[in-house]
Structure 1
Amino acid sequence: MRLKPLVPETDDRAQINQIIFDELCLGEFSERSRQYYLQVIERLAAQGAQGVIFGCTEIGLLVPEAQSALSVFDTAAIHAADAVEFMLS
C-alpha cells in the first residue's frame, strides 16, 4: 500500500500556524480554534485522508482525538510512549 500525503490548503496552513504561535504556544486554547482545526480535518477527510498527524505537540491539547473525524497520530503522545518504553527497557 502506498501512502499519499495530503496537506491543508495554503490559507488553512497560514491559519493553523497563526493559531499555533499566537495561541497554543502561549497556553491559549479557544473553542473557535478547536472548531477551525476540526473543520480542516473534515475537509481533509472529504479529500480521502484516513489519518491526521498532529506535528505540533500542543495540537493534541486543543483537539482531543475523540473529536477528530480521522485517526490521529499525536506526536507528543508518540514521543512520550517511546520515551517510557526506552526508560523501562
Structure 2
Amino acid sequence: MKLDDDIHNYYEHLVLERISKIGLDKTKSPDYLADLCCLALNQVPPRYIRYEVDMAFYLPQSERNQMEMNVEHAISKAIRYLDDMSSKKESEGE
C-alpha cells in the first residue's frame, strides 16, 4: 500500500499561515523557521486530510478557532524555546 502524496497534516497549513501572519517568514532564517515548525507541530495533535476543501466544508468554525488557538500557543512556546536556546549559546560564547 502507498500513501497518497496529497495526504497531509492540516496543522501544517495552520502553522505556516500563522508564521506568515506574524511576519516571521520575513525576519527569520530558513533553519529557524524549520525548527519552529517542528517544535510547534510536535505540540498539536495531527489532523490528516487529503484535500483542503474537506476542512473548509466539514470543519465547524468553533473547531477551526480552537485549532488556530492551539497553533498560536504552540508557536509562542516554540519561539520562547528557540530564543532561550539562542541566548544561552550567545552567553556561552558559541
TM-score above 0.5, yes or no:
no
Higher normalized strand content (fraction of residues)? 1
The structure number with the bigger radius of gyration is 2
TM-score, structure 1 as length reference: 0.35
Higher normalized helix content (fraction of residues)? 2
TM-score, structure 2 as length reference: 0.33
